[in-house]
Chain A
Amino acid sequence: MSHGRMHRKEDARFIRGRGNYTDDVRLPGMLYGAILRSPYAHARIVSVDASAAEAHPKVRAVIIGQTLAGLGLAWMPTLSRDTQAVLATDKVRFQGQEVAFVVAEDAYSARDALELIDVEYEPLDAVIDARKALDPDAPVIRDDLEGRTDNHVFDWEAGDGERADALFAQAEVTVAQDMLYPRVHPAPLETCGAVADFDKVTGKLTVWCPTQAPHAHRTLYAMVAGLPEHKIRVISPDIGGGFGGKVGIYPGYVCAIVGSIVTGRPVKWMEDRSENLMSTSFARDYHMRGEIAATRDGRIRAIRVKVLADHGAFNGTAQPTKFPAGFFHVFSGSYDIEAAHCAVTGVYTNKAPGGVAYACSFRITEAVYLVERMVDVLAAELGMDPAELRLRNLIRPEQFPYRSPTGWEYDSGDYPRALRLAMDLAGYDKLRAEQADRRARGELMGIGVSFFTEAVGAGPRKHMDILGLGMADGAELRVHPTGKAVLRVSCQTQGQGHETTFAQIVGQELGIPADDVEVVHGDTDQTPFGLGTYGSRSTPVSGAAAAIVSRKVRERARIVAAAMLEASPDDLEWADGRWAVVGDPATGRSMAEIALAAHSDLELPEGVEGHLDAVTVYNPPNLTYPFGAYICVVDVDPGTGQVKVRRFVAVDDCGVRINPMIVEGQIHGGLADGIGMALMQVMAFDEDGNHLGASFMDYLLPTAMECPSWELGETVTPSPTHPIGAKGVGESATVGSPAAVVNAVVDALAPYGVRHADMPLTPANVWRVINGNPFRTDLAIP
């Protein structure tokens, strides 16, 4: 009915240039803010003199750390119960940290005035290499925290270490590999920003900003600023891409709010690209050592991992409270392994805060990369084909629901079928034959395989909350008398097409066209509470809420239809989108007919209120577990080290596909991300903490030239817990693809004895190997 391929409703405005992004918001009397940032990674602030900036004729306010300290707003809580400076008072702790905020009549003048602010710094030694953060003589970054004498953030472990150790002790074969998942940035094309408008008369604060979690923002503003929550309205208009980078609250948002309160006028602040890359949420930065214990015939028995996690200067990662390393402990991946253990240590460094963003499903990206690289390392050790080794170890279909060694309950799947399909689509055996021929001719061709299992749709409230807010999401559905409907949801699209998909869900459940359903989102005054869109949770959580609230409406409609038909509700059946007397389809009443009757003078049974509207809150009983098998084919130019991705085959199983067109688009985007991370993108720093990737000239993103034409395949294994069997797909490809690309390049370089290489596999990096140098496995300046 309403599920299926359907053009997107939102496109009508975007193709006409009629989207409404944060920077498009213009209010009467609006002022413009700009942020002065630290040039140092670590320095004491001796003094800040803003008098010349204040004297600029177009400047209306200059806010510095001390101003905020007077208001109790110099520090704000992070999503991980740490604190982060809004504007630095004592020290700056990363290059690009916020130091002062200027509000002026226009954006150019605000920037001019930044140059008039005189800050005296006393530079300090910086901690840039996470591996040195815990050295006894390392400078202490967070001396603002009571009693803090080192740069340690947390230790955390999962799994059964003793059991794993025992299996390692008796193993026939073990392999170990150090690897770095480097720091990257999601870099959506729209940067972050905000328009804040505080109305002194009504006491109402309205904030427009591209947030993936508008309700969480509202609650946090209330908690931090002491503003009453019903007087705060967060509007998340159209968002120009998020990918996780727009979950948290950034200092600039708070500055815009304070700017509006201080000046009594609306204030807009938009960061530029270098500010975006230097200061907003980075991702990854996991130094990992993986080990596998296996039998000689390729049966994996145990896996162990040690991780050093670089969290930057403030622990700003957005993880469910119980899981400081997110869901990294799904690192046993898609394999039936007897024992697994991981130990993660988080440290502070003089880099931007954050640590989760970028389509990672709460660190599953790192986990999948780790295990998928390790399996290839094992394949090399055993001299076994990597696809064959995977087939030997994949969880078998009859094992679902599958309890993983670190405590996850994978819901459903047929993994071997997905991998075999990918191999068929790729022509795997032919590719291997071609590779042998090419190798004989001295050409470098590589074939990379990866398999991933995601865990998305966080999550059951009992286990998952962010800052104490349980991860359940609401939905409200109104059906107007003429049978047209309005769905209100707490999540917010950043391009995923919720206005279409969610309308399709409701349409399917109510038997009305998706075009008759309007989806309202991104405005806290108009939508029910919920934690928003990240971790691929919209379809698994809000999508489920949309289906369930529709079913509630349908049940109300049943009572009304029964009254219309003078029958008992129990005698009715839902068929072909209508309520009809069992066995008598001619009596069927459509939702439009029932809606009109529900609002009419039709006499309803005692206690029935009339109308059809309903609300719900969906608390997921379990996560959903999408999975997939990817095969990447690369050609490496031995003369230049250039890697060309020739083909990429992706078989995804995300359960039931509501709108396959949108699902495929999500996968395409994630695959491009994987190529970017594997081959191009990296946030590197020099030893003083200078950011070496602060523009798109240095932080390289894939263009149409680096991306092949994607080849997709699908299997469908419905989720048994989700009301319509959907599992979510937003991040699957970003999670699964980097390992496929790296595996392919390492495979191409096998003649050089390469078993592992850290991303990004740039031409320079690959060329080093071809010329007999080891791969660089850290990102320090040579």
Chain B
Amino acid sequence: MRITVSVNGQPHTRDVEPRLLLVHFLRDELGLTGTHWGCDTSNCGVCTVQLDGVPVKSCTVLAVMADGHEVTTVEGLERDGELDAVQKGFVECHGLQCGFCTPGMLLTARRLLDTVPDPDEGQIREAISGQLCRCTGYENIVRSIRWAAAAEGEARR
């Protein structure tokens, strides 16, 4: 099937098998390997991207379902050489170790701050509860997201 998906603002047109998963479309067709794959059952969340601004597990979306839609991956977070606040937060607060869960966490964090600019710890934990991290024990991910919220709050003032 011929599909056109806009990824990080760039339209991409490809002929794909109907069964192709969005995660494989991004990784193998477009070479955007920042989106990872980690389970067979939609549990781990390392494949999380934004579809029309909403976090989805790209292993659970067929590429054809993204036809005509806008996908944002971790590669799209940095704008004009400026890191997104959530990216900065993860560096500041050691929110990553192996980095495998990080892209998915960043995209969920971005969405959270877009909808809840000043989330408390409970809201952050709930927002990332569909995503696993095996390295950080989550503590520093929570702090990273709070750091980003504070930085953006500061910038708004």
CA distance A190 to B47 in the complex (A): 11
Chain B: minimal CB distance from A387 (Å)? 24
| A17 interface contact, C-beta 8 A | yes
Partner of B34, one of A18, A107, A273, A669: A18
CA distance A191 to B47 in the complex (A): 14
Contact B40 A14 (CB under 8 A): no
Closest to A18 in B: B34
| B106 interface contact, C-beta 8 A | yes
Interface residues of A in 1-28 (CB under 8 A from B): 7-8, 10-21, 23-24, 26
CA distance A273 to B100 in the complex (A): 15
| Binary per-residue interface labels of chain A (674-711) against chain B in the complex, 1 for a CB within 8 Å, 0 otherwise | 00000000000000000000011100010111010110
Contact B132 A696 (CB under 8 A): yes
Interface residues of B in 56-96 (CB under 8 A from A): 73-75, 77-78, 83, 87, 90-92, 94, 96
| A54 interface contact, C-beta 8 A | no
| B102 interface contact, C-beta 8 A | yes
| B129 interface contact, C-beta 8 A | yes
Partner of B41, one of A188, A497, A696: A696
Contact B43 A497 (CB under 8 A): no
| B1 interface contact, C-beta 8 A | no
| B19 interface contact, C-beta 8 A | yes
Partner of A15, one of B24, B91, B97, B137: B91
List residues of chain A with CB within 8 A of the CB of B121: 709
Contact A188 B139 (CB under 8 A): no
List residues of chain B with CB within 8 A of the CB of A671: 137
| A668 interface contact, C-beta 8 A | yes
**At the interface, is chain B mostly helix, strand, loop or mixed?**
loop
CA distance A189 to B140 in the complex (A): 18
**At the interface, is chain A mostly helix, strand, loop or mixed?**
loop
| Binary per-residue interface labels of chain A (178-206) against chain B in the complex, 1 for a CB within 8 Å, 0 otherwise | 00000000111111000000000000000
CA distance A243 to B38 in the complex (A): 16
CA distance A665 to B101 in the complex (A): 15
| B125 interface contact, C-beta 8 A | yes
Partner of B137, one of A7, A8, A243, A668: A668
Contact B91 A7 (CB under 8 A): yes
| B13 interface contact, C-beta 8 A | no
CA distance A349 to B138 in the complex (A): 36
Closest to A191 in B: B38
| B15 interface contact, C-beta 8 A | no
CA distance A10 to B102 in the complex (A): 13
Of A151-159, A234-242, A406-414, A523-531, which stretch is located at the interface?
A: A234-242
Closest to B93 in A: A661
Closest to B78 in A: A16
Interface residues of A in 45-75 (CB under 8 A from B): none
Contact B91 A189 (CB under 8 A): no
Contact A669 B136 (CB under 8 A): yes
Closest to B134 in A: A241
| A496 interface contact, C-beta 8 A | yes
| Binary per-residue interface labels of chain B (22-45) against chain A in the complex, 1 for a CB within 8 Å, 0 otherwise | 001001000111111111110110
Partner of B99, one of A10, A667, A670, A704: A10
| B135 interface contact, C-beta 8 A | yes
Partner of A11, one of B96, B125, B142: B96
| B103 interface contact, C-beta 8 A | yes
Chain B: minimal CB distance from A33 (Å)? 15
Chain B: minimal CB distance from A689 (Å)? 21
CA distance A274 to B124 in the complex (A): 29
Contact A669 B32 (CB under 8 A): no
Contact A661 B139 (CB under 8 A): no
Closest to A32 in B: B28
Contact B78 A672 (CB under 8 A): no
Interface centre among B34, B44, B139 (most CB of A within 10 A): B139
| A494 interface contact, C-beta 8 A | yes
Contact B100 A707 (CB under 8 A): no
| B17 interface contact, C-beta 8 A | yes
Closest to A19 in B: B99
Q: How large is the interface on B (under 10, 10 to 19, 20 to 34, 35 or more residues)?
A: 35 or more
Contact B96 A695 (CB under 8 A): no
Chain B: minimal CB distance from A239 (Å)? 6
List residues of chain A with CB within 8 A of the CB of B133: 189
- Asked if A704 meets B138 with Cβ closer than 8 Å, knowing A17-B34, A189-B132, A697-B43, the reply is yes
Contact B139 A709 (CB under 8 A): yes
CA distance A671 to B83 in the complex (A): 31
CA distance A277 to B111 in the complex (A): 32
List residues of chain A with CB within 8 A of the CB of B130: 703
Partner of A16, one of B75, B124, B131, B138: B75
Chain A: minimal CB distance from B14 (Å)? 14
Contact A15 B43 (CB under 8 A): no
Contact B136 A668 (CB under 8 A): yes
Chain B: minimal CB distance from A540 (Å)? 19
Closest to A699 in B: B43
Closest to B32 in A: A17
Contact A189 B44 (CB under 8 A): yes
List residues of chain A with CB within 8 A of the CB of B7: none
Contact B96 A14 (CB under 8 A): yes
- Asked if A189 meets B125 with Cβ closer than 8 Å, knowing A671-B137, A710-B139, the reply is no
CA distance A272 to B37 in the complex (A): 9
Chain A: minimal CB distance from B13 (Å)? 20
| B155 interface contact, C-beta 8 A | no
Partner of A669, one of B36, B46, B131, B137: B137
| B154 interface contact, C-beta 8 A | no
Contact B138 A21 (CB under 8 A): no
- Asked if A696 meets B140 with Cβ closer than 8 Å, knowing A15-B90, A496-B97, A669-B134, the reply is no
List residues of chain A with CB within 8 A of the CB of B39: 273, 695-696
Interface centre among B17, B38, B77, B106 (most CB of A within 10 A): B38
Closest 10 CB pairs of A and B: A17-B34, A495-B98, A14-B99, A240-B100, A668-B137, A495-B97, A696-B43, A17-B74, A672-B137, A24-B33
Known: A241-B98, A669-B97, A704-B141. 8 other contacts (CB 8 A): A189-B134, A190-B36, A272-B40, A273-B39, A494-B98, A495-B135, A704-B124, A704-B126
**Chain A residues with a Cβ under 8 A of chain B:** 7-8, 10-21, 23-24, 26, 107-108, 186-191, 238-241, 243, 272-274, 494-497, 661-662, 664-673, 695-697, 701, 703-705, 707, 709-710
Write 12 A-B pairs (CB below 8 A) sorted by A numbering: A11-B99, A14-B96, A16-B74, A108-B19, A188-B134, A238-B98, A661-B94, A668-B137, A671-B137, A703-B130, A704-B124, A704-B141
